[in-house]
Amino acid sequence: MYFRRVLRPSSPARTRSDIPGDAPAGGRPPAGGSGRRTASLKAVRTAGALLAAGALLLAACSAAQSRHRAVPATQAVLAALPRSTPPALLPYYTQKLTWRDCGAPGFQCATMKAPLDYADPGAGEIRLAVARTRATGPGERLGSLLVNPGGPGGSGIDFLQRFAGIGYPAEIRARYDLVALDPRGVARSEPVQCLDDRAMDTYTQTDVTPDDPAEIDALTAAYRSFAEGCGAHAPRLLRHVSTVEAARDMDVLRAVLGDPKLTYVGASYGTYLGATYAGLFPDRVGRLVLDGAVDPSLSARRMNLDQTAGFETAFQSFARDCVRHDDCPLGGPGTTPRQAGDRLAAFFRELDARPLLTGDPDGRRLGEALATTGVIAAMYDQGAWPQLRGALTAAMTRHDGSALLALSDSYYERDTKGHYANLMYANAAVNCLDMPPAFSSPDEVAKALPAFEKASPVFGRSLAWSALNCGYWPVRATGEPHRIEARGAAPIVVVGTTRDPATPYRWAESLAAQLSSARLLTYDGDGHTAYGRGSRCIDDAINTYLLEGTPPAEGKRCS
């Protein structure tokens, strides 16, 4: 599954979860948050699903009255936890953090303890990495602002140190301590591991548009190997990386920081995490911004299908821009997006038969799988469109696959030494635990292919087969689709972008309809997420909310 995440800035060549993002579970595209890394708060990819641990579901007893978009009236609702802290959890809620220098000027790091299993706090604990940068002043300090870039699997600490802590508006950094947590299983917080780097190279090159039974067997074998690797490396941890548990960790952190309520900005999958927090702890909601919203009421299959359509919408926007340029290899003036898509699809088929040389020191060639990932990576942000245009030109006219390979590597977080970050492993671990799989067998995928190919003639086939990964996961899902109402919560701002590829706008409409106190803020534009992407209207509305507590007017739209 899925999508989304916001990535920190860097050079154009490095251009997410937050994705799914944000990547479909198992490290296959379109992982949600991320053209991902650009010079402002640009979004990349990432999505997730939910629920776990304990009797957290409550059957809905009345029809939902939607202000934005209808949601199922009889679906289970995430129930709030008791307001009082259980005695067994008090040692965690009252712990003292020891802050230390962490190598990045202006930032401090600490380690926070949390129970591995909230249902059985005595069964062991997990150590979670935390970082902060203190409010710079002037002005009265407003407390802590927790940030999450999505994924699932995106490092909050990397995002804080590389962007939010230095790139958020000065007035926000003046009044808030900016804080980040690497969620359980991610980066510095006991990271999930699945494959060694060479095996991951093989995995990312696996053909995800199988043409015959032998290729289907090869793909399912790859999924099984990936899942078995995760299970072998982290058998206990895999059962306790759910979004519900991560949201409960956030509440421990809130208490440890001394904040009576949580103030939070979450992007892509981070919106699912933030909404889950609001559903569990509505009385502790401060100012929550959920940017690039995920709809928790959807099944994994529906999420994947919606994302497939979202990436098609993004590609059509790219194609319309591309054909205006003399160097576009997909056509010239008068070429329709559908014709451009047909040319790209034909190129993918050529790569399936004859991969291109890339000059990669490890001998990797550009096949259909890596090329598709590279194109999808650039769909997260229109700032990456020129880079993608150049990469396609090099591959399609000069038979040089190196630039598309670089885009794919940036998506997978593979560095120049061939090492992968744990993003894709954590992404699969969270997604596959949060929700039952989209598909459980190749036969189910085959039956769904017409719907996926209708949603996207360019990406539909590969994204349908990519959604099979969780069908082989070694741990049974503990969550299911549900609504989140968070009754009694303070106003929550839900942000949706009309042509967001990874978290389609309809998801923002649906989440805003579910949350009892939500205000929907709409960005009419391209790319994944909206805050910090160049719209002064969006930024001013969010900054005013964070600084003054005043949410945007109902129905506010920006461009």
Q: Which pLDDT score is estimated for 60? A: 31
Q: What tokens were used for 132?
A: 């902060």
Determine the Cα–Cα distance for residues 217 and 219; give it in Å rounded to an integer.
5
Q: What tokens were used for 203?
A: 């995995």
Q: What tokens were used for 554?
A: 């109902």
Beta strands in 19-141 (DSSP E): 57-58, 77-78, 100-101, 108-115, 125-133
Phi, psi of 43, rounded to the nearest 5 degrees: -95, 155
| Radius of gyration of the chain, Cα coordinates, nearest whole angstrom | 22
N-term to C-term CA, the chain: 30
The sign of the torsion formed by the CA atoms of 377, 379, 385, 388 equals positive
Overall pTM > 0.85: yes
Helix (H) or strand (E) holding 519: strand 518-526
Q: Which pLDDT score is estimated for 75? A: 79
For tokens 């047909």, name the residue.
342
A 10 A CB-CB count for 547 gives 17
| CA dist 450 → 146, 444, 456 (Å) | 42, 12, 10
Q: Which of 208, 182, 166 is nearest to 126 (CA)?
A: 182
Q: Judge contact between 482 and 297, C-beta under 8 A.
A: yes
Q: Can you list the residues of the chain whose pLDDT is less than 50?
A: 1-27, 30-67
Q: Which pLDDT score is estimated for 74? A: 61
Determine the Cα–Cα distance for residues 226 and 205; give it in Å rounded to an integer.
13
Q: What tokens were used for 272?
A: 């699912």
Determine the Cα–Cα distance for residues 152 and 23; give it in Å rounded to an integer.
8
Query: Could you give the residue numbers annotated as active site?
Result: 268, 500, 528
Q: Which of 288, 206, 299, 351 is nearest to 489 (CA)?
A: 288
